[in-house]
Each structure stands twice: as structure tokens, then as C-alpha cells.
Amino acid sequence: MAFFADTEALYRILGGFFETLTTAEEGQLIHRVGGPVLFLYHRPEGRLLWSPLPPPGQRPAFRVAYGDDAAGEPPLLTFEQDADTAHRFWLGEIDLAQALARQQLRAIGPLSRAMKLLPHLDSVYPRYAAWVAGGGPA
Amino acid sequence: MRVRASVLADYGLLQEEELELDGPGPGEVAVRLSAAGVCHSDYHVFSGDLPLPTPMVLGHEGAGVVAAVGAGVATVRPGDPVVLSWLPSCGRCRFCLSGRPELCRVPATAAQHGTLPGGRTPFRRGVTREPVYQFSLTGAFAEVTVVPESGVVRLPPGTDLEVAALLGCSVLTGTGAVWRTAAVRPGESVAVFGSGGIGLNVLQGAQLVSAYPRIAIDVSQRRLAAAIEFGATHTVRADQDSVLDRILELTGGLGVDAAFEAIGRPETIAAAFNATCAGGRAVVIGVAPPNAEVGLNAFAFPSQEKTLTGCWYGQSSPARDIPALLRLHNAGSLRLRPLLSQRYGLGELERAFEAMLDGSVNRALIVFDP
Ligand SMILES: [Zn+2]
Ligand SMILES: [Zn+2]
């Protein structure tokens, strides 16, 4: 049974969580990535885009675009995965190297840019777990 | 203690720095490096193709002398000459117990984090004592490094440490791919895509087991000349000739029994697979970016029983295989000296990368002032 019942739930819960990151300390890391990051989801289908809002230091650090609205801007990095894999990733339960090797996660673009984010996600995972436990946006 | 090291501050940015090095903890060994080979994997981290945390001390193909040992270390003592192994296996997991220590998850996980198996890194820098990560549990581009006890292999006294350094990666990997992964038999045909540090050792490994023909493929005339020196019987300029046509011509239209990919690019991985005969095997040694994907003909797998496999660290057991390689070298069978074409100082790593990329060196070596 998929964690996200439908696209609406995916956008509300995961999209909503991304919205909280736009004003969080870690959100500033988008500027080190250096361009838009697109997430393509399957089962349910969905598409979320992080679009950086310069200059660095300003909050929100990026805008979250949903669905067709996320298709307008060419991404620097694209991550394609099942929505369930994404859910487990943000819980901190996915070994990135293994997920890439098994094609559970496809990454297109300069992966080294994403490495700027990874070491900082340890503090984000528990917040996602709490967000999910709290049922998403209030 | 304070040590000089070449630090990858960010992708594409190297700087020579003085770092603080913690002494060896229990089960760890401090090694003063004499020489360290420059490998394509180091370059892949430098360029960001192999994304690992920064700042990081690169270098994983090194030899030196034990400077100090931590509590409980039994196999080496200060003063022993050693070569570093970048895959210090645990000896207890199911991969280690089934004779595949190169697949041990303990060093694999630590390498991904740029640390020692316990999660700590021995290097720090600046007033903040910020941790500096360590490439593949080694960090050989530093005057002294700290590694797990299973990350060193003791050498006989008097061993030439410049030659020994190469045993820690390129020689072990190249020969192991032929002897263990592909298990090439006398009279079998081989093709080697890429005649850099690994490819040359694939060729001399194939020559030692009397494979024939031994076809070297590269885009550099200089590297193909080296390939002949190291045992190639035929060469193909990939930028001028049709590689597949030439290989088919040289093998009576069948393709080779074993093809080795020592570059790490999806196109050459596919080319190696396509160049094998029915029942043949293609071995990928080159390290592609972790998100790269390869397109292959699906029907060729069942209808031609082709094998596509990979080789990590020569499918080796360093404590067993490095001394054997050294004996082959001492007996005159394995040519290691001619692999060393150019020496560089610690601050010249970028120049060494350039020389490696343009094919002007077989193996660049970083040497340390005494
Ligand atoms: Zn190497
Ligand atoms: Zn193990």
C-alpha cells in the first residue's frame, strides 16, 4: 500500500514539507546547488520543483512549484523515483548509492551539486518524520 | 601532530595545507607515506563525478613506513614498510566469509562518508578543527595518514616503496580483473578499452597467462605505444578506426573471449560488451559516475550467453595477493618500474592529473620530501 494515497496527498504532505524548508536554515543550501531541482514521482504521479530565489541569505530561499507549474523551468538536477521511495528518503531510510545502483532513484545532471545538500540532511530527516506524524500541514 | 597534505577544498579546488592529524586509535596504524600513485578515481572525486564529501584528502594508492600503532595492533610495528589497501575488509561479514572481501560493506559505507569505519576522520583543519575527510579509508596525499590495521599490508624489509605503492590499486586491480574476475585461460583473446594505469596492468596480466591476441584500444597514440610495451599484440585508435570492426577482424569474426573496460564511460562499457564473442565475458573496471546508465541489446544475453560483470579492486584479497605480485615483480615477470614515468611534489597534484588525462604518463607518482 502506497504511503501517499494520491497526487493530492503527495503535494499536501511532501510538497508542504518542502514549503517548510524554503524558510529553514537548510533551505539556503539550494544556492550551493546552483539551480532548480526537479523531483519526478510515480505511484502516484507527481512533479515538484525547487526554484531558487536569489540572493542567498534571503528567505524564502526557493519556491516550490507543483505539477504543470513545475514543468516551465529547465532543471539543473532531476531526481526520478517512486513516491514511496521519496517518502523513505526523507525519513533518512534510503542508502543513496544503493538506490542509484538499483535504479530505485534516477538522477540526471551534476550529482556532485546534490552532495552539497546531503551531509546537511541529518537534521532534516527527523523533522520530516515529525511532520508526517503530525499529519502534514496544520 | 601536524602534517602537510593536498586537500580537496571543494570540487575542482586543491590546496596544499597543514592539517592536524590524530594519532592512531585502537586497531589503527599511522603510516608515513613515501610515495602515492595518482589514480583516475582521485580525479573523479576532484571533478565531482564521484561525489564524496569535502574537504577531503585524496590519494589511495600509497606505500610508506609505519610511524605508530594503536592499541591491539598485532600485524605491524613502527618501522615496518607497508602498502596501503583502500579496502580494509571486516573479515566477519557474509561477503568476507564467502571469499569476496572486496564486497565488504564496512569499508564501502565508511568510504561513502569519507571516514574510518568508526565514523571519525583523523584529519582536522583550522582553528575550528573542522573535520577533513579521507578518501577511501586511506588519504595517501598526506605526509602521514591513519588507517585501519587491515588497511596495511606488510612488505619485506628493503622493498622499493615507489614500486610498492602501485601494488595498492592499479596493479592489483588490473591483474585481478584478468586472473580472477574473467579467469582468462591461455589462448583466449582479450580486448582492453583504455590503456591508462589500470589498462596497462590488464595487458600485462593477460600476457602472463598467455592470452592471444591482446588488443589495446585508446584514443592516445602515446598510451597505445605504452600498451605495446606492456603486452598488447594489436592496437586500435578509437578516434580513427571502427573499434568493433577491427576486433572482429582480429578474432575471425567472433569477438573476444574477454573484454575489459578500464575507462568508466557508458559508451565504452557497451562497446566492450558488444565486442565479446558468444559465451564471452565483459568486465567493467572503470568507475562511471554513480548516476550513469548503460544501454545494451537485451536479446544478446540469452541468445549468446554473454556475461557482463564488474571488478572492484581486482576481486582481490590484498594480504594474499599483494605479496604474490611483489614476488612476480622480483622474479622479473611483472614490470612495475616502467609504469612510473613521472614524479610530482604534494603541491603539484593538479599537474599530475593533467599528465594522466593527456596520456603523457603511465602512472604519475606523488613523492614526499624526507
Ligand atoms: Zn585507484
Ligand atoms: Zn566484511
Task: Give me the pLDDT at residue B16, please.
Answer: 96
User: A100 and B291: CB-CB below 8 Å?
Assistant: yes
Chain A residues closer than 8 Å to B110 by CB: none
Where is average pLDDT lowest: A87-96, A118-127, B96-105? Answer: A118-127
User: A111 and B112: CB-CB below 8 Å?
Assistant: no
CB atoms within 10 A of CB A122: 9
Find the closest chain A residue to B108 by CA distance: A97
User: B290 and A97: CB-CB below 8 Å?
Assistant: yes
Return residue ranges of chain B for CATH 3.40.50.720. Answer: 173-312
pLDDT digits (tens, 9 = 90+) for B246-278: 999 999 999 999 999 999 999 999 999 999 999
> Could you give the percent of chain A with pLDDT greater than 70?
99
Task: Give me the pLDDT at residue B40, please.
Answer: 93
Find the closest chain B residue to A111 by CA distance: B51
Q: What residue ranges define each of the domains in chain A, with the CATH number in brackets?
A: 7-65+79-123 (3.30.1050.10)
Ligand nearest to the CA of B168: 1
Task: Give me the pLDDT at residue B369, please.
Answer: 75
pLDDT at B91 over 80: yes
Average pLDDT, stretch A112-132? 89
User: B291 and A101: CB-CB below 8 Å?
Assistant: no
Indicate the residue of A107, A112, A119 with minimum beta-carbon distance to B48.
Answer: A112
Count how many pairs of residues, chain A against chain B, have C-beta atoms within 8 Å: 30
Mention every residue, 6+ apart, whose C-beta is less than 8 A from residue B157: B81
User: B291 and A108: CB-CB below 8 Å?
Assistant: yes
Among A29, A33, A76, A111, pick the best mutation site for testing chain B contact (most B Cβ within 10 A).
Answer: A111
Chain B residues closer than 8 Å to A97 by CB: 112, 290
What pTM did the predictor assign?
A: 0.92
Indicate the residue of A106, A108, A111 with minimum beta-carbon distance to B51.
Answer: A111
The answer, for A71 touching chain B at a CB cutoff of 8 Å, is no
pLDDT digits (tens, 9 = 90+) for B308-345: 999 999 999 999 999 999 999 999 999 999 999 899 99
Mention every residue, 6+ apart, whose C-beta is less than 8 A from residue B117: B88, B90, B106, B107, B109, B110, B137, B148
pLDDT at A50 over 90: yes
Find the closest chain A residue to B49 by CA distance: A112
Q: Is A9 exposed, middle or buried (0-12, 13-18, 19+ CB in 10 A)?
A: middle
CATH for B2-168+336-367 (3.40.50.620, 3.40.50.10190, 3.90.180.10, 2.160.20.10): 3.90.180.10
Task: Give me the pLDDT at residue A117, please.
Answer: 81
Task: Give me the pLDDT at residue B370, please.
Answer: 58
CB atoms within 10 A of CB B79: 9
Average pLDDT, stretch B137-161? 97
What are the grid coordinates assigned to B295, written together?
A: 544501454
pLDDT digits (tens, 9 = 90+) for B184-215: 999 999 999 999 999 999 999 999 999 999 99
Angstrom distance (rounded) from CA B80 to CA B208: 30
Distance B348 CA to ligand 2 centre (A): 36
Indicate the residue of B53, B112, B290 with minimum beta-carbon distance to A111.
Answer: B290
The band of A129, judged by pLDDT with boundaries at 50, 70 and 90, is very high
Q: What is the per-residue DSSP string for A58-71?
A: -SS-EEEEEGGGGS
Return residue ranges of chain B for CATH 3.90.180.10. Answer: 2-168+336-367
> Could you give the percent of chain B with pLDDT greater than 90?
97
pLDDT at B50 over 80: yes
Chain A residues closer than 8 Å to B12 by CB: none
Task: Give me the pLDDT at residue A90, please.
Answer: 97
Task: Give me the pLDDT at residue B30, please.
Answer: 98
Residue pointed to by grid coordinates 564521484? B50
CB atoms within 10 A of CB B14: 18
pLDDT at B17 over 90: yes
Chain B residues closer than 8 Å to A120 by CB: none
CB atoms within 10 A of CB B265: 16
The band of A135, judged by pLDDT with boundaries at 50, 70 and 90, is confident
Give the CATH fold of the B173-312 domain: Rossmann fold (3.40.50)
User: B49 and A112: CB-CB below 8 Å?
Assistant: yes
Nearest Cα of chain A lies from the Cα of B282 at a distance, in angstroms, of: 19
Ligand nearest to the CA of B356: 1
Ligand nearest to the CA of B84: 1
Task: Give me the pLDDT at residue B116, please.
Answer: 97
CB atoms within 10 A of CB A16: 15
The band of B181, judged by pLDDT with boundaries at 50, 70 and 90, is very high
User: B53 and A119: CB-CB below 8 Å?
Assistant: yes
What does pLDDT average to over chain B? 96
Residues 102-121 on A with a CB inside 8 Å of B are 103, 106-108, 110-115, 118-119
Ligand nearest to the CA of B109: 2
pLDDT digits (tens, 9 = 90+) for B211-253: 999 999 999 999 999 999 999 999 999 999 999 999 999 999 9
Count, residues in chain B: 370
Chain B residues closer than 8 Å to A119 by CB: 53
